[in-house]
Structure 1
Amino acid sequence: MNLSWLDDFLALASSGNFSRAAEERHMTQPAFSRRIRALEEWLGVVLFDRSSHPAVLTETGEWFRSVAQEILTRVARVPDEARAVADASSATLRLASTHALSFTFLPGWLRSLESRTTVGPVQLVSDVLQQCESLMLQGRVQFLLCHWHELVPGRLDPAGHRSVKVGGDSLIPVSAPGNDGRARHVLSSSAGGRVPVLAYSTESGIGRLVRALRGTALEQANVEQVFTAHLASVLKTMALDGRGVAWLPLSLIGDELAGRRLVEAGGAEWKVEVEVRLFRSQAALPRAAEAFWQAATHAAQ
């Protein structure tokens, strides 16, 4: 169906005169009549009683008049609604963040940026780093927040992405304390028994960092991987339960360390100092996203 047929129909419904309606619609009467007939054929009903002069609407035609008006009114609103959707979309910040940072770093960081710019609606995806990187590469998010180390390359090509350091963190091997208050499990190459380790799955960004930066030392130590998960919060729970040693971000376990519910399970050589980085594409972003990036960049200086 051609939408202009609805205007033809309403013009004829108003006057009942084919010649006058055709003139109003800037076409010949034969051409106008063919369009009215085409509309009736598309609907499969008769809209006008042509035996009377002027032509009058059939009962179905009366019903269709309100339908035609409603359709045209709805269509007329579409451009304004489309622009409203586009404006809302451009104002919404689409951010992916790893689970650990979503729970700890992100809320306070966003709050600090609000003093520099208007942070509009935020659409957050909290997931493992591998999935967050995929969302970034697919263009489904504008920003990615994650732990990062210069010696551990990620999946985001530096030529196609920019990043800025927005914070720092430490990955610390911890264990529940024993009765003497010291770590129940301690990382040491000379340990008498095998040290149970709570490990991250391959999808985990923290796991990627630990394997790359401390993997060789772990291979040389007397350890046994007893549990694997992709969430730091899960490994934290297992560590609190005394199940083994886990590398956990300081941002996640500050209270537990202060309260001695978790204690360090190795010397300084086992710690990993990392950055918290915000990534974006090199391509231009909507105005609100560019303002957010500028605020994050200035705050980091």
Structure 2
Amino acid sequence: MDVVWLESLVALGEHGSFTRAAESLHISQPAFSRRIRALEQWAGTDLVDRTSLPITLTPSGRVLRARAADVVAGLSALHDEMRGRQTMPAHPVRLAVSHSLATHYFAGWWRSITADAPQLTCLLLAANTLEAYDTLVHGGCDLLLAYVDPLHPLELGDSDLESVLVARDRLAPYARPDTYRLPDPRRSPDDGPEVPYVSHGAGSFLGRVTDRTLAGRRPRLRPVAQSDLTSVLAALVAAGLGVGWLPGLLTAEQVAAGRMTPVGDGQWTAGLEIRLSRNRRQRASSHAAEVWERATVDRDPTG
């Protein structure tokens, strides 16, 4: 159970529309729909009557929504009470960061940006890449640090977004040493043996980049595990369960320690950029503006 599932059901009951409820929570409609589906799977029954307009809740949905409203209100009150007893960062910059960068890149980057600026603090909002962009578009964060596919940038339909190049990376296939190899891409995929494969979900950002990299010359891959969390896939690769397409920044320590190695020809790889983005429509705090300026000055000199 995730509290945001309950918050989503309460919002749906209030607004009677997936679109308006999603907007009220500053997330995309697909992300909102996934939350409601997840809650229905947890409850074991339909909570929404999708045959009616406007959308209505089923009897089970109305019962759960009433309880959910009490739970959400209680947790909110408890959260406020706990925050009053703890030291919180002063005027934090709200930074949405894709999961893989949050765990393997953000700390070093933030330290370099704020080394001589102790007044700069942050509230880190880790999310998958596509939802992180939704957060920026809808004003749920000040800045976004995320991967970008330079050959296929996201079509966000929002000309008010601007970004600066922070660093470059590469998505490549990795495996535990002395386990699996990929065939020469110039040969027929049927020429090589079947290779166990741990993959990102098809809807995830790095999953889409991987699919484009494999398009038209996919080797004989046998899916054995799937996760949208890149750190989970890296652990599976290091355990010897299969080949996985991973960013170089995430794998550097594992490669240095001899727990995984790049496999296959360089044609199986794709370039990635790490970019810091902001929404010009949104009025930035002075601290967010300072982080942006520092990132612009300190950007990757090759960019």
TM-score (norm 1): 0.63
Deviation string for 1:172-220 (max 9, x for gaps)?
2011123xxxx424244354322222110134222122223333332xx
Runs of 4+ in 1 over 4 A off after TM superposition: 116-119
The answer to whether 1:175 aligns with 2:155 is no
The answer to whether 1:293 aligns with 2:292 is yes
Count of paired positions: 208
5+ residue gaps in structure 2?
1-87
Letter in 1 for 2:163: S
Q: Counterpart in 2 of 1:215?
A: 215
**Residue 119 to residue 128, structure 1, CA distance change in 2 (3 Å):** farther
Structure 2 CA distance, aligned partners of 1:257 and 1:299?
28
- Aligned residue runs from structure 1 range 190-269, under 5 A: 191-218=191-218, 221-269=219-267
Contact 1:96 1:127 survives alignment (8 Å): yes
Letter in 1 for 2:212: A
The answer to whether 1:279 aligns with 2:277 is yes
Structure 1 CA distance, aligned partners of 2:131 and 2:221?
29
Deviation string for 1:204-248 (max 9, x for gaps)?
222122223333332xx2222222110111111111222111011
SS of corresponding position for 1:169:
strand
5+ residue gaps in structure 1?
1-87
Letter in 2 for 1:297: T
**Residue 291 to residue 228, structure 1, CA distance change in 2 (3 Å):** same
In the TM superposition, residue 108 of structure 1 has moved relative to its aligned partner by 0.7
SS of corresponding position for 1:252:
helix
Structure 2 CA distance, aligned partners of 1:215 and 1:160?
32
Structure 2 CA distance, aligned partners of 1:118 and 1:292?
12
SS of corresponding position for 1:197:
strand
**Residue 118 to residue 154, structure 1, CA distance change in 2 (3 Å):** farther
Letter in 2 for 1:239: V
Structure 2 CA distance, aligned partners of 1:243 and 1:191?
22
The answer to whether 1:186 aligns with 2:185 is no
Deviation string for 1:118-175 (max 9, x for gaps)?
5522111112112212211221111111111222222534512000011111112011
The structure with the larger Rg is 1
TM-score (norm 2): 0.63
**Residue 133 to residue 228, structure 1, CA distance change in 2 (3 Å):** same
Structure 1 CA distance, aligned partners of 2:205 and 2:168?
15
Contact 1:129 1:203 survives alignment (8 Å): no
Q: Counterpart in 1 of 2:32?
A: none
Contact 1:201 1:230 survives alignment (8 Å): yes
SS of corresponding position for 1:216:
coil
SS of corresponding position for 2:130:
helix
Contact 1:172 1:270 survives alignment (8 Å): yes
Structure 2 CA distance, aligned partners of 1:268 and 1:119?
44
In the TM superposition, residue 259 of structure 1 has moved relative to its aligned partner by 2.8
SS of corresponding position for 2:202:
coil
Structure 2 CA distance, aligned partners of 1:89 and 1:255?
30
